[in-house]
Copies of this chain bind each other. A is one copy, B any other.
Amino acid sequence: MKCAGIVVEYNPFHNGHLYHLQKTVEKTGADCIIAVMSGNFLQRGEPALVSKFSRTKMALAAGVDLVVELPYAFATQKAETFATGAVQILADLGCQYLCFGSESGKIDDFYRTMNFIEQNKELFNRSVQTYMKTGISYPKACSMAFRSLNPTGMMVDLSKPNNILGYHYMKAIKKQHRSITPITIKRIHSDYHENNLSPKGISSATSIRQALFSQTSFPIEAHVPKTTWNELIRFKKEYGTFAHWERYWSFLQYRLLHIRPKDLKNIYEVEEGIEHRLIGMAKEASHFQAFMEKLKTKRYTWTRLQRIITHILTNTTKEEMERRSEKVDYIRILGLNERGRKYLRKYKDSFPTPIISKISSLTEEKIYLDVRAGRTYAFGFDPPFRQQMIQLEYARPPIILESDGRPSIS
């Protein structure tokens, strides 16, 4: 069986994701599509709108054959570490292709950019350091350093988020000596319509989330598959709300006002004396948005700050993250259809990394960071929904879709 891998968050799954999925099948001719998906906390340091199980349902309904979890130790990290974990999982699961969306859309430009940076590594790194001394953030410094080297030929614009991720997938494939072929698909934007693929609109997940929270007359139904829409409605009915940062503010504030500064310094990514600033602002702010606005400086991107406070909320230490992000040492199955099941049955024994399909006392220690993140996520919901979600983290087996065909475009 030919297998292609994709790296996703699906927050929530929308028509743009469907396009990416269909293009992946078309370009690779794969019999099986595996998605490695972030759990309940995402790369930008925020809780997912709906739980990983709910997002797994959306993915399966749209035709993904096997959904596995990108562990917390990789999912809530900067692009490089995020990509390292994702590539390892897809390669360990035997994928021949990694198909990613990018603003560029040209795989040759990625190769050229990667080679260029490698050849000018020292110069590049020195330049990044120089830009950072002016007080700007790391991603911005990287993009400026790259431009300052005056690359010639067609290069990838490394100030674009999906280009950065793609670049790091390719770097990880090379570094890990994996025989995965990278393929990129140009992302299509909200104003871009292609009739045979998406008769309805394609919007960013951000704009869909915003519309969900602001209750505008934005026609979300037209921008997501029917299956996503139904699942969103079901989730909200079952758990009372969608998750977002404001719903965690009480717990974050409680945590910040009770932790000793020296213990706060043990939390992953808390560096450079920011612990005092975090505690000070928590005393003053009355809600999450106000807290973040007080906290924000030129040096820290909003994303980096959100990742820091995610680790504070989940109580994740430097020691834990460093140990757990060295190497993926388990792969948790979140859901699968008949094709996914066949694929697993056929190749399972050749996987170098153990597969976990349900938490047991044997596996709990290993996946403790994910379990704890699952519990943290539950606190964004009011009782008794919270309690249901805490229990579910333990009791839930993988979601199974009893079908082996891909649904047609809705």
A387 to B287, CA, bound (A): 10
Q: When the two chains form their complex, are residues B384 and A254 in contact, meaning their CB atoms are under 8 A apart?
A: no
A283 within 8 A of B: yes
The 8 A CB mask of A375-387 against B (1 = contact, 0 = none) is 1100100011001
Q: List the B side residues contacting A111 at CB < 8 Å.
A: none
Q: List the B side residues contacting A375 at CB < 8 Å.
A: 257-258
Q: When the two chains form their complex, are residues A315 and B251 in contact, meaning their CB atoms are under 8 A apart?
A: no
Chain A at the B interface: SS class: helix
A379 to B257, CA, bound (A): 10
**CB of A59, distance to nearest CB on chain B (Å):** 28
Q: When the two chains form their complex, are residues A390 and B257 in contact, meaning their CB atoms are under 8 A apart?
A: yes
Number of interface residues of A (CB under 8 A): 22
A314 within 8 A of B: yes
A379 to B250, CA, bound (A): 8
Q: When the two chains form their complex, are residues B254 and A383 in contact, meaning their CB atoms are under 8 A apart?
A: no
Q: When the two chains form their complex, are residues A258 and B383 in contact, meaning their CB atoms are under 8 A apart?
A: no
A410 within 8 A of B: no
A123 within 8 A of B: no
A286 within 8 A of B: yes
**CB of A392, distance to nearest CB on chain B (Å):** 12
Q: List the B side residues contacting A257 at CB < 8 Å.
A: 372, 375, 390
Q: List the B side residues contacting A372 at CB < 8 Å.
A: 257-258
**CB of A261, distance to nearest CB on chain B (Å):** 11
Instruction: For chain A, residues 345 to 377, give those with C-beta under 8 angstroms from any C-beta of chain B.
Output: 372, 375-376
A391 to B379, CA, bound (A): 25
A149 within 8 A of B: no
**CB of A10, distance to nearest CB on chain B (Å):** 26
Report the 4 A-B pairs with minimum CB-CB distance, sorted nearest first.
A258-B315, A286-B387, A257-B375, A251-B254
